[in-house]
Amino acid sequence: MTTVDPAPPPPMRLRELVFGAACAAAVRAAVRLGVADALDDTPMTVDELAAAVKTQPHTLRRLLRALSCQGVFAENPDGAFEHTEMSRLLREDDPHSLRYIALWCTEPWTWNVWPQLDEAVRSGGNVFEDVYDQEFFTYLNESAPESAHVFNRAMTTSSEQSARDVARLLDLDDAASVVDIGGGQGHVLASLLEKHPHLHGTLLDLPGVVENADPRLREGGALAGRVDVVARDCREDVPVQADVYIIKNVLEWDDDSTRRALANVCAAARPGARVVVIENLVDDTPSMRFTTAMDLLLLLNVGGAKHTRQSMVDRLTDAGLVIGDISPVNAYLHAFECTVPG
């Protein structure tokens, strides 16, 4: 039976940290093999699991032992394995599944850029183009279609899960219109429209993104009559007037792109309009290990950054917005309520 030391001494903890790639690779392997999907509510022996996922029993045991030490799966005294709360999140059918997020964070390209982190810190810019001779999204769409598919599924998962939290947080009873800037496939917008039947919504994002919008928002969808879909880069133009502008997980580029996007929103908005910016923070949050890791990955792949509370306040203030409440959306997102001045 696998046991876990809950508080290893510093030398052992450091050893664990530098072997972190092994843990990430083990999670990825379990997902790609389908171990979590094969294991249901009844514990299974290694031989049974190995037959189900077509692996060698002795090597599968080694994988499961490594994961059980991290709380992903649990080994019973009789040697059988069962689910934990974390391992269930790797199942395709779990309503809170993180399967594609786990795959996205361990895609093949990540193993090549992480060792270049010192160079990214030294230069202050991304290293992805040095490694792959292509800009990040160009590489995904032209050279790595499988990785692009994983990315899209991961972003969809993240959007669907956080959309419910955003809809619970925002009070839009007094608004007649809302636009989701860089809103991806429109999961947040769809959740808001479902909660507020009086609202009219606009989804604004790049042409290649909005053409795959949530079916509820497309022609024939349940919400299509209350939605406009605008294919635009918000760094170039925001041709929409609304009572509320939502900008979620968008302001993570270089500072110039962030300034341009905010300036375009402020130019389009009427005085008194609300601008709600929703971002992960790398301070003042219970999920700092996650957000700081994502911050470093953004540096590596696009030269972007997650924000501290103060850096977000500074950028919103510089754009001319008046900041009101700053509220947690969930364990890893904060909402900055702003107003366009008169």
Provide the token pair at 220. Answer: 């024939």
Q: What is the pLDDT of residue 201?
A: 98
Q: What is the pTM of this model?
A: 0.88
Dist. CA 247–CA 169, nearest whole Å: 15
**Per-residue pLDDT averaged across 95-105, rounded?**
96
Query: What does the mean pLDDT of the chain come to?
Result: 94
Q: Answer whether residue 284 shows pLDDT above 70.
A: yes
78 Cβ contact partners less than 8 Å away, ≥ 6 residues apart: none
Count of H helices and E strands in the chain?
17, 9
Q: Tens of pLDDT along 59-70?
A: 999 999 999 999
Burial class (CB in 10 A: 0-12, 13-18, 19+), 172: buried
**Per-residue pLDDT averaged across 155-168, rounded?**
90
Hey, what domains does the chain have and what are their CATH numbers?
A: 10-94 (1.10.10.10), 161-284+304-340 (3.40.50.150)
Q: Answer whether residue 3 shows pLDDT above 70.
A: no
Q: What is the pLDDT of residue 4?
A: 63
Q: Answer whether residue 148 shows pLDDT above 80.
A: yes
Q: What is the pLDDT of residue 69?
A: 94
Q: Is 90 left (phi over 0), alpha (psi -120 to 50) or beta?
A: alpha
Higher per-residue pLDDT: 1 or 305: 305
Q: Tens of pLDDT along 297-316?
A: 999 999 999 999 999 999 99
- Whole-number Cα distances in Å, 254 to 31, 58, 125, 223, 280: 33, 48, 9, 34, 16
Q: Answer whether residue 342 shows pLDDT above 90.
A: no
Q: Tens of pLDDT along 105-139?
A: 999 999 999 999 999 999 999 999 999 999 998 99
Portion of the chain with pLDDT greater than 90, in percent: 88
**CA geometry: angle 130, 279, 256, nearest 5 deg:** 50
In 3-state terms, what secondary structure has residue 246?
strand
Dist. CA 1–CA 68, nearest whole Å: 9
Q: What is the pLDDT of residue 244?
A: 98
Q: What is the pLDDT of residue 137?
A: 87
Residue carrying the six token digits 């209350």: 226
Cβ atoms of 319 and 147 closer than 8 Å:
no
Q: What is the pLDDT of residue 155?
A: 86
Higher per-residue pLDDT: 321 or 149: 321
Q: Answer whether residue 2 shows pLDDT above 80.
A: no
Q: What is the pLDDT of residue 73?
A: 98
Q: Answer whether residue 208 shows pLDDT above 90.
A: no
Provide the token pair at 5. Answer: 């030391």
**Per-residue pLDDT averaged across 61-84, rounded?**
97
Portion of the chain with pLDDT greater than 70, in percent: 99
Q: What is the pLDDT of residue 5?
A: 63
Q: Answer whether residue 253 shows pLDDT above 90.
A: no
Higher per-residue pLDDT: 256 or 30: 30
Q: What is the pLDDT of residue 120?
A: 97
